[in-house]
């Protein structure tokens, strides 16, 4: 029976290889003949298959790119795009797709890029791509993982980065970053400090239409904004108690100020000036993240890992505006905290069954206070919104087991089962307490057709991350849109089935195709409240079909050192609207997103040039009494960089060459369910092009 199965799989594999060859030729992505492939593998800098699940790119492969940090290296790895992780609950489920020396950095979403930028390129020995199984257990749910393997040495290394961006108004926006790392005995220490000062001059035009779609008013907008971002981060790693201890810490602070002036004209922009309005927006956000993990061998072939993570943050938003109905003022202050403790025990792959067993405990807290007032007959009146003053706490525990097991030759399976319990308590002007129990199974079958081709079929059930800010009231004063809080929220449950093909050829050729379907139970969206307002609530069950294609196409036969890259996502989502009963798309999900890039490396000159294109996209949001659609125009960037000066990389980039236009259409309707059209507001904004000069110097 096993022999028959192996013969069947072998026959299917031969057919699959023929199909891959045919598809590659049709797209201009041909397989390299065996003789040439061998020459490329023998040449310095070629990618080498390590195991069926792995493909390694040595440091010499990136030498011609003038890389300065590990982030530069990852960005130039064929067919790989950094993922900061899924928006799901806990630490394990939110894993990104990058490992450092086989271990996931102890940071949650948004921190992987920061960790990679702290590592000088000289410290990277190789990048190993893992396509399912093996170390991928450190990044659950990711079908392609990059393991950055470092060189063990005590040498000092670092970078200084200076960036100057000239904007449309002539303002030069500076940013600077310095990173440094060294070895102290058996310990490694590195850190980064950065600051970014920005100043934008946004210009816009509003058109106000009545229910007959006739132009009533035109608003001419000027919106100068200022922002300052600072960050300090660092890590220390070394041997402790027979294992390795790593501690990461990061502190960041952002200040943002927006001063909007609107000149209101009757009819077209050349019409009579009716009035002027001013809208102010000030935000201050601070966040601290501290993470520590210890990992080491417990028994032969068994490894233990302990993770601790704490993330306190504070956000304050002050808004003020004046419109035809009078003055509005709001002040929102929110303090949040997330703490996670996670312990795992795993057996390394290659030793038969490879299980991972663990537990995770987490606590989340939010204290939110909103003061909101509207002007009535010349007097400011406080407007109490449900959820204006509340505290939300969640205590969550999870036990899980993941198992990698061989099925037949070149085929293995990944199985997972997790059980989660959580209690969410809301106290304040609205209150509630709820308990939830979720079972989250997962299964995948991975077939290594060849050392360079893999197919993965899987299904996984997850639970979405709740945004605790949705429990609390908030105000979008600029849009004249108060949002009530909701104490009865529960996370959406997602069941995702997918099939993914990953194929690589030659030195840089790669293509990954991921087709998937998601069933989303308990989708959170805007719903009507008893008081006649709106809040985030359970809008019903939805579905999502998606297709993602990522590829790197070498063009060496046409132009030595040139390549094309693409990242295209197509989506089709459906949700039955809770008010009208008609099907519609899910809020916040564009139907199409695409990024394309062309890059040409002149190895002899140690220089490169290229073009990046971000395709236009439209993002819908469905409020209770309006539909908002935001369309971002295509964004074209042209750049050139050189590393002719040893230890220095200079980059000149023209961003948004054709402009960066963002249009927004708001269609207003009568009370929920009536469907009566009341009018529209159409806004067009342009941020203009930027010329950016970047200089990176190694220390």
Evaluate whether residue 169 is within a structural domain: yes
pLDDT at site 522: 94
Cβ atoms of residues 284 and 253 within 8 Å: yes
Q: Report if residue 234 sits inside a domain.
A: yes
Q: What is the pLDDT of residue 31?
A: 30
Mean pLDDT of 229-243: 90
For residue 19, what is the DSSP state?
H
Q: Is residue 566 part of a domain?
A: no
pLDDT score of 214: 94
Residue 121 in this model has a pLDDT that exceeds 50: yes
On whether the CB atoms of residues 448 and 454 are closer than 8 A, the answer is yes
Residue with tokens 């971000």: 614
What is the 3-state composition of the chain as percent helix, strand, coil, each rounded to the nearest 5? 10, 65, 25
d(CA 36, CA 38) in angstroms, rounded, equals: 5
Say if 292 falls within a structural domain.
no
* Lowest-pLDDT range of 190-194, 276-280, 325-329, 392-396: 325-329
pLDDT in tens, 69-88: 888 888 888 777 777 655 45
Greater confidence (441 vs 110) lies with 441
Among the candidates 251, 282, 313, a domain finishes at: 282
Asked if residue 498 belongs to a domain, the reply is no
pLDDT band at 49; cut points 50, 70, 90:
very low
Q: What's the domain count of the chain?
A: 2
Q: How confident is the model at residue 351 (pLDDT cuts 50, 70, 90)?
A: low
Which residues partner with 622 through β-bridges? 627
Task: Using the predicted structure, report yes or no on whether residue 9 has a pLDDT greater than 90.
Answer: no
- What integer is the mean pLDDT of 465-492? 86
pLDDT band at 590 (very low <50, low <70, confident <90, very high): very high
* 224 belongs to a structural domain: yes
Does residue 166 register a pLDDT over 70? yes
**Is residue 272 included in any domain, yes or no?**
yes
Beta bridge partners of 638: 611, 654
Mean pLDDT within 630-643? 93
**pLDDT at res. 27:** 33
Burial (CB count within 10 angstroms: exposed 0-12, middle 13-18, buried 19+), residue 154: exposed
Q: Please state, rounded to an integer, the average pLDDT across all residues of the chain.
A: 83
Kindly state whether residue 11 falls inside one of the protein's structural domains: yes
Checking if the pLDDT of 47 tops 80, the result is no
Domain with residue 219: its CATH number is: 3.90.1150
**pLDDT, tens only, 525-546:** 999 888 778 899 999 999 999 9
C-alpha distance from residue 541 to each of 428, 485, 521 (Å):
30, 21, 5
Reply yes or no on whether the pLDDT at 114 is more than 80: no
Which of 282, 308, 335 is the endpoint of a domain?
282
Confidence class of residue 15 from pLDDT cuts 50, 70 and 90? very low
518 and 150 Cβ atoms separated by less than 8 Å: no
Q: What percent of the chain has pLDDT over 70?
A: 85
**pLDDT(89) > 70:** no
Domain membership of residue 164 as a residue range: 158-282
Boundary of a domain, candidates 247, 267, 282: 282
> What is the pLDDT, as a whole number, of residue 216?
94
With CA atoms as reference, report the closest residue to 652 among 636, 635, 640, 638.
640
- The pLDDT of residue 110 is above 80: no
302-329: average pLDDT: 86
In this model, does residue 12 exceed pLDDT 50? no
Structure confidence at residue 34 (pLDDT): 32
| Cα–Cα distance for residue pair 496/456, rounded to 1 Å | 13
513, 543 contact by CB (below 8 A): no
Q: Residue range 141-150: average pLDDT?
A: 77
Which band of pLDDT confidence, cut at 50, 70 and 90, is reported for residue 35? very low
Residue pair 547/582 in contact (Cβ under 8 Å)? The answer is: no
pLDDT of 697 > 90? The answer is no
Q: Which pLDDT value is given to residue 365?
A: 94
């Amino acid at each position: 029976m096993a022999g028959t199965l192996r013969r069947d799989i072998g026959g299917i594999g031969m057919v699959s290889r023929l199909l891959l060859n045919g598809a590659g030729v049709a797209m201009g992505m041909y397989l390299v003949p065996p003789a040439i492939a061998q020459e490329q593998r023998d040449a310095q800098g070629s990618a080498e298959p390590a195991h069926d699940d792995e493909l390694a790119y040595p440091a010499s492969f990136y030498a011609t790119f003038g890389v300065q940090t590990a982030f530069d290296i990852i960005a130039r790895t064929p067919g790989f795009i950094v993922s900061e992780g899924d928006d799901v609950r806990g630490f394990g489920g939110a894993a990104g797709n990058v490992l450092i020396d086989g271990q996931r950095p102890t940071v949650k979403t948004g921190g992987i890029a920061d960790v990679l930028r702290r590592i000088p390129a000289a410290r990277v020995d190789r990048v190993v791509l893992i396509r399912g199984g093996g170390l991928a257990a450190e990044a659950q749910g990711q079908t392609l993982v990059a393991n950055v393997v470092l060189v063990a040495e005590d040498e000092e290394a670092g970078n200084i980065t200076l960036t100057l961006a000239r904007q449309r108004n002539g303002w030069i926006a500076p940013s600077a970053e310095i990173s440094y790392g060294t070895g102290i005995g058996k310990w490694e220490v590195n850190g980064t400090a950065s600051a970014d000062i920005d100043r934008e001059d946004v210009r816009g035009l509003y058109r106000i239409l009545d229910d007959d779609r006739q132009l009533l008013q035109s608003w001419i907008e000027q919106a100068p904004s200022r922002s300052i971002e600072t960050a300090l981060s660092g890590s220390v790693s070394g041997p402790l108690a027979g294992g390795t201890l790593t501690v990461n810490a990061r502190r960041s602070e952002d200040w943002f100020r927006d001063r909007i002036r609107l000149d209101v004209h009757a009819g077209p922009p050349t019409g009579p000036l009716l009035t002027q309005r001013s809208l102010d927006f000030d935000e201050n956000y601070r966040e601290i993240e501290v993470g520590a993990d210890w990992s080491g061998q417990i028994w032969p072939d068994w490894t233990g890992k302990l993770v601790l993570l704490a993330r306190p943050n504070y956000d304050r938003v002050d808004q003020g505006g004046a419109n035809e109905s009078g003055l509005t003022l709001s002040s929102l202050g929110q303090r949040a905290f997330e703490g996670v403790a996670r312990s795992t025990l795993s057996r390394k792959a290659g030793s038969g069954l490879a299980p991972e067993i663990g537990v995770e405990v987490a606590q989340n807290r939010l204290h939110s206070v909103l003061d909101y007032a509207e002007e009535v007959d010349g007097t400011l009146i406080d407007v109490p919104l449900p959820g204006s003053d509340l505290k939300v706490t969640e205590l969550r525990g999870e036990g899980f087991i993941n198992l990698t097991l061989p099925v037949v030759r070149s085929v293995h399976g990944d199985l997972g089962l997790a059980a989660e319990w959580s209690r969410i308590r809301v106290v304040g002007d609205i209150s509630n307490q709820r308990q939830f129990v979720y079972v989250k199974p997962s299964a995948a079958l991975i077939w290594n057709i060849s050392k360079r081709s893999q197919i993965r079929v899987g299904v996984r059930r997850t639970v979405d991350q709740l945004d605790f800010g949705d429990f609390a009231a908030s105000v979008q004063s600029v849009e004249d849109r108060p949002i009530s809080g909701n104490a009865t929220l529960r996370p959406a449950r997602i069941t995702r089935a997918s099939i993914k093909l990953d194929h690589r050829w030659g030195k840089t050729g790669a293509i990954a195709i991921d087709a998937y379907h998601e069933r989303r139970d308990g989708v959170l969206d805007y719903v009507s409240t008893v008081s006649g307002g709106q809040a985030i609530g359970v809008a019903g069950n939805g579905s999502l079909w998606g297709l993602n294609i990522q590829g790197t196409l070498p063009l060496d036969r046409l132009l030595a050192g040139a390549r094309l890259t693409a990242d295209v996502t197509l989506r089709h989502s459906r949700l039955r609207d809770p008010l009208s009963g008609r099907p519609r798309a899910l809020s916040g999900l564009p139907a199409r997103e695409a990024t394309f890039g062309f890059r040409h490396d002149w190895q002899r000159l140690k220089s490169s040039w290229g073009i990046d294109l971000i395709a236009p996209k439209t993002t819908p949001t469905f409020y209770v009494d309006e539909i908002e659609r935001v369309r971002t125009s295509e964004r074209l960037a042209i750049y050139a960089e050189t590393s002719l000066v040893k230890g220095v990389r200079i980059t000149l980039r023209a961003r948004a060459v054709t402009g960066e236009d963002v249009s927004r259409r708001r269609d207003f309707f009568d009370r929920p369910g009536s469907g009566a059209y009341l009018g529209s507001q159409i806004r067009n904004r342009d941020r203009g092009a930027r010329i950016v000069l970047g200089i990176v110097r190694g220390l």
